Structure 1
Amino acid sequence: MNARLPVISMVIPFYNEAGNVDVLYRRLATVLDATHCAWEIVCVNDGSGDGTLEKLLALRHRDPRVRVLDLSRNFGKEAALTAGLDHARGSAVIPFDADLQDPPELIPELLAKWREGADIVNAVRSSRAGESWLKRATAHGFYRVINRLTPVDIPADTGDFRLISRPALEAIRRLPERRRFMKGIFAWVGFRTAEVYYQREPRHAGKSKFNWWRLWNFALEGITSFSQVPLQMASWLGLLVSLLSLLYAVSLVVATLLYGNPVKGYPSMMAAILFLGGVQLMALGVIGEYVGRIYEESKHRPIYIIRELDDPGAGAGAALPTGSETDAPPSG
């Protein structure tokens, strides 16, 4: 293995996680040192405003294995994760959340599966401590719904915490979309996959940045990024309404022939108009979601912009850097 390149790259987006930086580093360093592999931690500051960047830079100056990417503003977790993956140099890359809900102590199990031949090793949550029953229920339902709507099998109860081999990562980096649903992208590329199971812990410090509105948009992003079923459902709904309208029209003709043509009431007419108008607006809304995403993609804006890359071993940061060649996984 080239001594200049790490075997393990941890990729961690940070957004207002100052309270987690030090304890996260201590736990990660303890686990990674025990693997006896060269490693790095790629920290992506996603526009934090609470002192997270200062703590990351202080950590970088204490340990050169820590690399800090400071984005020019808050681009969102998916973009920050993409930035970290673009700059990771390891043969095995592990995305990780800064809130310490996922245990770093699981990393040796991920590495063991990788050395057995898996290209992607998913960390699957067998329990979700510290989360409300409503959030657990909606998360459970989301994975089941999206797997029924999409041709891609997205692993249920699996977050960003997983191991990705260099060949799989290079395939992921070839996907150019700006509106990114990383869980779907990880699954779409395929490769040999394995799983390890763990119990998710409560967040160590701070509060989750995902409120219900952001979670709804996240779910909508996932469905529209990997499925055309909502468009098909709008078409089928339009067909169903048309058939019902035709049947109603036939019934009116028959009733007129049999019983004459008394004047019908105003409420029934308004109900029909409002129902048809609602169906049309709903169909237009579904179409609009897809057209909006086409519009975003057509502008070809960068996924993220790096304000500063605190890494003496690298040049100036770019939005879409080229990959680094690494050796094959080390033998067990």
Structure 2
Amino acid sequence: MAVEEQHDLLDSARDRMLVSTIVPALNEEGNIDEFCRLYADMLKTAPFEGELVFVDDGSTDGTVEKIRQAVQQYSFIKYASHQRNRGLTAALETGFSIASGEIFVFYPADLQYLPEDIPVLVKPVAEGADLCAGWKQGKYKKRLVSNVYNWVSRRIFNLKVHDLNSVKAFRREVVENIFLRRDWHRYLVVLAADEGYRVEEVKVPLYDRQWGKSKFGGIGRVMVGLLDMLAVKFQITFLRKPLLFFGLVGSLCFLAGLLVGLAAIYLRFVVGEGYRPLLYLVILLMGVGMGLFMMGFVAEGLTALREEISDMRNKVQAALSKTNKTPRED
């Protein structure tokens, strides 16, 4: 689609739509100036108002100084700084808290994604989607690992999105209504879809890094990602109805204990051979089964409490939003 056509679709919202681009940065001093220049160029023709929100996540180089210099040069920049490295999820949450836009965009500071593509991400959200995920196009390292990870994620979470770990644009309310644990930023698309938000996808070009080093990699990060994937799946599936999970497993254990008990009775009274370890196994299996049932009941109570707290939080946020939109009289 031509750039002119894309912009025509959004021109009617120009005066009322503010897009906040959240850019976490860790030791990216060599990319800050160029990022700001490219962002300023993008805003000249963008069909929306924009603000650039940098979050320095405990950099040990001159990243903060570069950002401060940029603030003096460009009026659209906000920034926050962490005293220590707290991780990408925490950096994003800090950015969300100081951003003013109706739509948020997550962009890394490494210039592997260029600001000129931000309007492409924003377009589906401006047209009615709640979140738009970027699908990176181009050659890059760890492509095989990324493809396998995304393929498994699509199967586990039943998503049509091809790339969970790319740039994203989404409505403010999406992150206001979703709780992100550490490193769960990569599952924002999954959590949003689970909450019923409409998710779209667009292709976004990926470029080679020109300065600095990647902050991601290593077998440890792969393992963390896989474990987080299982944790998210467990939360959005079994924690909605925990008794279904614990009750099923508990029933299987109890049934296994019953069968082992019948086998022990047969051996003792029919064959005439007692086998004491079977008795211990019966006690273990039935005990575990009853314990799992009890855990299921407790988890049901905790889930009900969690949902009540979440509902109260949503009502408070709705009330605050309504208050902020109400005109005030002097």
Report the TM-score when normalising by structure 2. 0.66
Higher relative contact order (CA 8 A, sep 6+): 1
Alignment partner, residue 51 of structure 2: 40
Structure 2 CA distance for partners of 1:174 and 1:251, relative to 1, 3 Å: closer
User: Which of 62, 66, 89 is 2:73 aligned to?
Assistant: 62
User: Which of 153, 173, 176 is 1:173 aligned to?
Assistant: 176
SS at the partner of 2:135? Answer: strand
The CA deviation at 1:43 is 0.6
After superposition, give the CA deviation of every residue in 1:79-134 in whole Å (9 maximum; x if it has no partner): 22122122222343212122344443432323433454444333234677321523
Structure 1 residue 258 corresponds to structure 2 residue 259: no
Structure 2 CA distance for partners of 1:263 and 1:247, relative to 1, 3 Å: closer
> Partners of 2:61 and 2:298 in 1: how far apart?
37
8 A contact 2:250–2:292 mirrored in 1: no
* Aligned amino acid, residue 39 of structure 1: G
Alignment partner, residue 4 of structure 2: none
* Aligned amino acid, residue 247 of structure 1: L
**Comparing 175-184 with 30-39, which one deviates more in the overlay?**
175-184
8 A contact 1:91–1:326 mirrored in 2: no
* Aligned amino acid, residue 129 of structure 1: Y
> Partners of 2:324 and 2:101 in 1: how far apart?
7
Alignment partner, residue 304 of structure 1: none
Number of residues paired by the alignment? 296
User: Which of 192, 201, 222 is 1:212 aligned to?
Assistant: 222
Structure 1 residue 25 corresponds to structure 2 residue 36: yes
> Partners of 2:293 and 2:67 in 1: how far apart?
47
Within a 5 Å distance, the mapping from 1:293-332 to structure 2 comes to none
8 A contact 1:172–1:185 mirrored in 2: no
Structure 1 residue 97 corresponds to structure 2 residue 105: no
Structure 1 residue 108 corresponds to structure 2 residue 110: no
RMSD of aligned alpha carbons: 4.9
**Comparing 247-256 with 95-104, which one deviates more in the overlay?**
95-104
* Aligned amino acid, residue 99 of structure 1: D
The CA deviation at 1:177 is 6.9
Gaps of 5+ in 2: 1-11, 307-319, 326-330
Alignment partner, residue 50 of structure 1: 61
The CA deviation at 1:42 is 0.3
The CA deviation at 1:68 is 0.9
8 A contact 2:70–2:77 mirrored in 1: yes
After superposition, give the CA deviation of every residue in 1:149-197 in whole Å (9 maximum; x if it has no partner): xxxx684523362222xxx314532556776845345435545543212
Alignment partner, residue 87 of structure 2: 76
The CA deviation at 1:143 is 3.9
Within a 5 Å distance, the mapping from 1:149-228 to structure 2 comes to 155-159=161-165, 161-164=167-170, 168-170=171-173, 172-175=175-178, 181-182=184-185, 183-188=189-194, 190-201=196-207, 205-208=213-216, 211-216=221-226, 218-227=228-237, 228=240
8 A contact 2:112–2:207 mirrored in 1: yes
> Partners of 1:46 and 1:287 in 2: how far apart?
41
Structure 2 CA distance for partners of 1:35 and 1:212, relative to 1, 3 Å: same
The CA deviation at 1:11 is 0.8
Structure 2 CA distance for partners of 1:40 and 1:273, relative to 1, 3 Å: same
SS at the partner of 1:48? Answer: coil
* Aligned amino acid, residue 90 of structure 1: G
Gaps of 5+ in 1: 148-152, 297-321, 328-332
> Partners of 2:69 and 2:226 in 1: how far apart?
36
User: Which of 231, 241, 244 is 2:256 aligned to?
Assistant: 244
Structure 2 CA distance for partners of 1:145 and 1:178, relative to 1, 3 Å: closer
Structure 2 CA distance for partners of 1:270 and 1:192, relative to 1, 3 Å: closer
SS at the partner of 2:78? Answer: strand
After superposition, give the CA deviation of every residue in 1:28-80 in whole Å (9 maximum; x if it has no partner): 33333332643221011222333322222222222232211113443332222
> Partners of 2:195 and 2:234 in 1: how far apart?
18
Structure 2 CA distance for partners of 1:243 and 1:274, relative to 1, 3 Å: closer
> Partners of 1:184 and 1:248 in 2: how far apart?
42
